[in-house]
Structure 1
Amino acid sequence: MRDAVAAASLALCAGTCAQAADKPPIVVGAVSSLSGPGASSASVQAARAYFDTVNAAGGIQGRRIDYTVVDDQMRPDVARQGAAALIDDVRVVALAGGSSVLECGVNHARYAQARLFNLPGAGVDPACFASSHIAPMNAGPYVSTANALTFVHQVLQRARICVVSPALPGMTDAFTQAVNDWSRRMKAATPSLDVYRLEDALPAVVQRVAARQCQAVVYTGPEGPSLAWMRESHPALAGIPVVLLTASYTSHTARRLSDLATTEAIYAMAEFDPWSSSSMQTTDWRRLLVASQIEPSSLSQGGYIAARALVQVMRGMEGPITRASVADTLERTTLWSGGMMAHPLRVAADGRHALNRSALPMRLIDGKWRVAHHGWITD
């Protein structure tokens, strides 16, 4: 497969790569959590794969894209240093495709000051969704928690809902607010919220949650802790539907939990089109992942969308591609419409972005994720 992709790339490149080599590259950066608990490289892998296809076709305005990714190691000081290096590099026109647990909170003010836009494939911490120069492709854990609660309340028709959340840096208060805001909007009983540290012994947490006699559980953690929770929560919570967030909508989770799914109702909230979709964008993403040997996941969808959106913006520019011109274009352009999301996404000059706020419930059946509800749920 890789040989075929290489041959196709050479064919596309003929007559244009020499020109691209003579011009300075367009530098795009990312600060992403590639190591540490809950870290993942899927988003930046997919973004890099998309940029590679653009380069293989001659780049943009005859310039190749140089994708520079910084691993923040889930440490604020490293995230700060990595962002500073990208900000200080005047060649960096934008950031795209990152997926960091904490870097938005650390760096958002400096991105605004430098007028450097960041389009994460997956935003995680609260500042990702409330910053003038950060516009994630995903709906994020707080909106998805609210959408999961709506799915449980309105579709599964369960009244007594328990939310379980590992205590990740800077996220506990945001989950508490998301749960309380949902309860007020829906005029529903406030779900219980059990927060635990990742180093806590899970059996005690499971027993505490089981004592609440939940009719359904929404688990808000990343994929690794989600898998651990699903294993440890049985048999104490057997027979109770569990809704995971989009980080668990992966083929890896499907394989690991396929045995449990034969007797239990396991759901995940997909923030982008399901992999079974026949849309042109999803088909192109799937083909790119197969060629690049990247596992399907919502994170890889987000990275792909971020890279494609930025390329679309830059391809529409007639003048020089610089940090300032990219910022100007982003602020006056509809960023993405029809890109595996329920609604168009827009970056606003005043920071009032129109971000992704939708999710589609999926259920694990026979080792595969299947659409569990006919329509998108939007917070």
Structure 2
Amino acid sequence: MKHHALVVALASALAAAHPLHAQESDQGPIVVGAVSSLTGPGASDASTLAARMYFDAVNAAGGIQGRRIEYRVIDDQMHPTKAQQAATLLAGDPRVIALAGGSSVLECAVNQQRYATAGLFNLPGAGVDPACFSSTHIAPVNTGPYVATATALTFAHTVLRHERICVVSPALPGMTEAFEKTVKDWTQRSKAPAPSLDVYRLEDPLPPLVQRVAARQCQVIVYTGPGGPAIGWVLASRQVMPKVPVVMLTSAYTSQAAKALANAGDGLYAMAEFDPWSSGSLQIMGWRRLLIARQIEPSSLSQGGHIAAQVLVNTLQGMHGPIHRASVSQALETMAPWRSGMMDQPFKVGTNGQHQLNRSALPMKLEAGRWRIAHARWISD
């Protein structure tokens, strides 16, 4: 009953904010797609589950122009061929008007040209590979690991006031060069001492890496890997460097990481890419209750999926003519800057890749097993 009440409440709020046509349309459903890494090491369905939750609420309120949203998610299994096949299937279906809410570790690089050729826009809830942030038809709502790494370096240097910064980065496919460039560019901009950068394979044993990094006498460590490996790094490195602060990216900002690292000591941070899901704001509290009712863990990933769905729905609700791929793409390209209560800056899809993307993160600190805001201001790159 609680779950039903929450869905009805959100649906009513959506209907009040955007009056929808209740009549059934003979045009069939509005099909929205997503290519997402749902299986494989470190995979997650949180982003697409949250997007589906939002689309379900819109459907409960009457849909868009009387048409329900059909959400079609395809698992790329973290494999380039699977990602290519998924995008080909979605782009080849004229009923698919856009993609939204996906969270893939590699599909942007594989599919960016395919989306551009098909005139199909993709709004990932969590863009990961570098191509996500430099493509004409892909516009992620999240900050992403590269900008987040730069904000983590700024936090370590200007807020924590450390000079000897060590960056530890797993060698993830297609991402190592982007992290190297991020560290180099940040050093040039900040005129700070150049951080060291240790790249390692996830299958490598951690003790030799810990010893190598410890020999650098780091004052602070920025770890760029996903949540699971980040937990592994902290637990392994704490035995040798118990007092050295570790700044992780948003993938470590989860309740599971908080639980796993509760006894790891002070000085653990994570860069939240959206308004903290643990905050007490009314918007966050209502969103979090709905996620819990659906048994979706509150996290930056689930925030990203929710926000990506919001961006697309907001665009669709502003359209007065026919809704099809070309009209939706035009509406996205000409959208006004859109502000979410969960983002620091307005978001905008632009023409020819001139997108206005999320470039901020808020430092969180783990205290007594709970994430708390560590700095009063967002850090932007």
- Distance change >3 Å, CA 377–CA 9, structure 1 → 2: closer
Change (3 A) 1:190 1:11: closer
CA contact (8 A) 1:96 1:120 kept: yes
Partner of 1:287: 289
Q: In 2, are the aligned partners of 1:285 and 1:304 still within 8 Å (CA)?
A: no
Instruction: Kindly indicate whether residue 271 of structure 2 is the aligned counterpart of residue 273 of structure 1.
Output: no
Cα 1:278–1:312 change in 2 (3 A) is farther
What is the CA–CA distance in structure 2 between the aligned matches of 1:366 and 1:356, rounded to whole Å? Answer: 30
What is the correspondence of 1:118-129 to structure 2 with a 5 Å cutoff?
Answer: 118-129=122-133
Q: Would the aligned equivalents of 1:50 and 1:288 in 2 still touch at CA under 8 Å?
A: no
State the match for 1:48 in structure 2: 52
Q: Distance in 2 between matches of 1:127 and 1:352?
A: 14
Residue 352 of structure 1, CA deviation: 1.4
Q: Kindly indicate whether the alpha-carbon contact (under 8 Å) linking 2:7 and 2:57 is maintained by their aligned counterparts in 1.
A: no
- Report what 1:258 is aligned to: 262
What is the identity, as a one-letter code, of the residue corresponding to 1:236?
V
Which residue identity is paired with 2:76?
D
Shift of 1:133: 0.5
The structural deviation recorded for 1:340 is 1.0
How many corresponding residue pairs?
376
CA–CA distance in structure 2, aligned partners of residues 83 and 298 of structure 1: 25
Task: Choose the corresponding residue for 2:82, options 78, 91, 97.
Answer: 78
Deviation per CA, 1:282-305, whole angstroms, max 9, x where unpaired? 234223212212111000000000
Equivalent residue letter for 1:316:
G
Q: 1:94 to 1:211 in 2, by over 3 A?
A: same
Q: Assess, with a 3 A threshold, how the Cα gap between structure 1 residues 169 and 77 changes in structure 2: closer, same or farther.
A: same
Aligned mates of 1:161, 1:328 — CA distance in 2: 45
Task: Show the counterpart of 1:164.
Answer: 168
Q: Which 5+ residue runs of structure 1 have no aligned equivalent?
A: none
Cα distance, 1:8 vs. partner? 6.3
TM-score by length of 2: 0.94
Cα contact 2:7–2:290 (8 A) shared by 1: no
Query: Aligned AA for 1:248?
Result: A
> Is 2:379 the counterpart of 1:377?
yes
**Post-superposition CA distance 1:34-65 (Å, at most 9, x none):** 11112111100100001010111111100000
Give the Cα separation in 1 of the matches to 2:373 and 2:22. Answer: 46
Q: CA deviation at 1:277?
A: 3.6
Query: In 2, are the aligned partners of 1:144 and 1:269 still within 8 Å (CA)?
Result: yes
Flag the 1:7–1:121 CA change in 2: closer, same or farther, 3 A.
closer
Match 1:102 to one of 88, 93, 106: 106
Write the deviation string for residues 159-198 of structure 1: whole angstroms up to 9, x where unpaired.
0000001111100000000000000000011100100001
Q: Which amino acid aligns with 2:275?
A: D
**Which residue does 1:197 correspond to in 2?**
201
Residue of structure 2 equivalent to 1:306: 308
Residue 112 (structure 1) aligned to one of 116, 139, 151:
116
Q: Compared with structure 1, are the counterparts of its residues 229 and 287 closer, same or farther at alpha carbon in structure 2 (3 Å cutoff)?
A: same
Out of 344, 347, 366, which is 2:346 matched to? 344
Aligned to 2:17: none
Distance 1:258 1:295 in 2: 18
Q: Cα distance, 1:279 vs. partner?
A: 4.4
Find the partner of 2:189 among 161, 173, 185: 185
How large is the RMSD of aligned CA atoms in angstroms?
2.0
Tell whether the 8 Å contact from 1:309 to 1:335 is kept in structure 2 after alignment. Answer: no
User: Structure 1 length normalisation: TM-score?
Assistant: 0.95
8 Å contact 1:122–1:299 — kept in the other structure? yes
Report the counterpart of residue 359 of structure 1 in structure 2: 361
Q: Secondary structure at the match of 2:352?
A: coil
CA change 1:110–1:190 in 2 (3 A) is: same
Q: Is the 8 A contact 1:254 1:368 kept in 2?
A: yes
Q: Which residue is equivalent to 2:317?
A: 315
Residue 122 of structure 2 is aligned to residue 130 of structure 1: no
* Unaligned 5+ runs, structure 2: 15-19
> For 1:278 and 1:329, how far apart are their aligned partners in 2?
34
Map of 1:55-94 to 2, 5 A cutoff?
A: 55-94=59-98
Q: Counterparts in 2 of 1:198-217, with a 5 A limit?
A: 198-217=202-221
Shift of 1:232: 1.2
Decide whether aligned partners of structure 1 residues 179 and 8 sit closer, same or farther in structure 2, where only a CA change above 3 A counts.
closer
Partner of 1:243: 247
Moved over 3 A (4+): 3-13, 16-23, 276-281
